[in-house]
Amino acid sequence: MMQAVEDSLRRLQTDYIDLYQSHRDDPATPMAETLGAYDELIKQGKVRYIGASNFTAERLAEALDTSKREGLPRYESLQPVYNLVQRADYEQDLEPLCRKEEVGVIPYSSLASGFLSGKYKAGEPLPSSPRASGIQQRYMNDRGFAVLEAVESVATRLNATPAQVSLAWIAARPGMTGPIASATTPDQLRDLIGGIDLKLDDDALATLDKASAWQNGA
């Protein structure tokens, strides 16, 4: 970890990293050992805050308890998979914990790998790429298209794009710091930025919540 930080500082040409994240949990390493290494990096001024990515609620709770008990830095943010199609994993256990412990949430795959941008249509040919194949397997089913239909309906009514609506819905969730979404062109970037200022009304939120509800096992 120490060498990885040094390498990152050199590549970024900076003296410190604002947020350094544990990309995946390592059950084989004691939690106090990992947090102790972060403590040293923070004391050296090379890292300001730390976050966790892809942690279960159980392991995040253990990390937060270890921080309190040992007087070590705590994970100030969580980066989970979260979008209108994939709600259950985060909302069931992680959301209550993050809100209780005031951990910031910066979800990735906010557009479900591009599915919620509206560019994948039922019955239409897919691009020949591994990503398209993964989207087909995960999202291109009855539930996924029902969610997408609701997103597109709200987007039409609000004169917005599906991507903007999908990001605005995440931003409106309690406890959210902000969604992560990637862009490969300037037009995509402008589209995503529009989602920051979009405010969904109660009818829009109700439509999206109903279409994407997971309590039935989705």
**Cα dihedral 158, 161, 164, 165 in deg (nearest 10):** 50
- Do 120 and 46 share a domain, yes or no? no
Q: Can you give the residue range of the structural domain that contains 137?
A: 109-218
Whether 212 contacts 88, CB under 8 Å: no
Tens of pLDDT, residues 69-124: 999 999 999 999 999 999 999 999 999 999 999 999 999 999 998 899 888 777 66
- Do 9 and 47 share a domain, yes or no? yes
Tens of pLDDT, residues 195-205: 888 999 999 99
Q: Does residue 132 surpass a pLDDT of 80?
A: no
Taking the C-alpha atoms of residue 84 and residue 170, their distance in angstroms, rounded to an integer, is 8
Of 79, 101, 125, the position where a domain reaches its end is 79
- Do 114 and 64 share a domain, yes or no? no
Query: In Å, what is the CA distance from 66 to each residue of 75, 81, 144, 206?
Result: 11, 24, 39, 39
- Do 74 and 116 share a domain, yes or no? no
- Do 60 and 143 share a domain, yes or no? no
pTM of this prediction?
0.88
Look at residue 210 and tell me if it is in a domain.
Answer: yes
- Do 128 and 194 share a domain, yes or no? yes
Look at residue 204 and tell me if it is in a domain.
Answer: yes
Of 58, 79, 100, the position where a domain reaches its end is 79
- Do 64 and 165 share a domain, yes or no? no
Mean pLDDT on 14-29: 94
Torsional class of 138: left (φ above 0), alpha (ψ -120 to 50), beta (otherwise): alpha
Look at residue 165 and tell me if it is in a domain.
Answer: yes
Look at residue 88 and tell me if it is in a domain.
Answer: no
Domain count, the chain: 2
Look at residue 92 and tell me if it is in a domain.
Answer: no
Look at residue 115 and tell me if it is in a domain.
Answer: yes
Q: Is 111 exposed, middle or buried (0-12, 13-18, 19+ CB in 10 A)?
A: buried
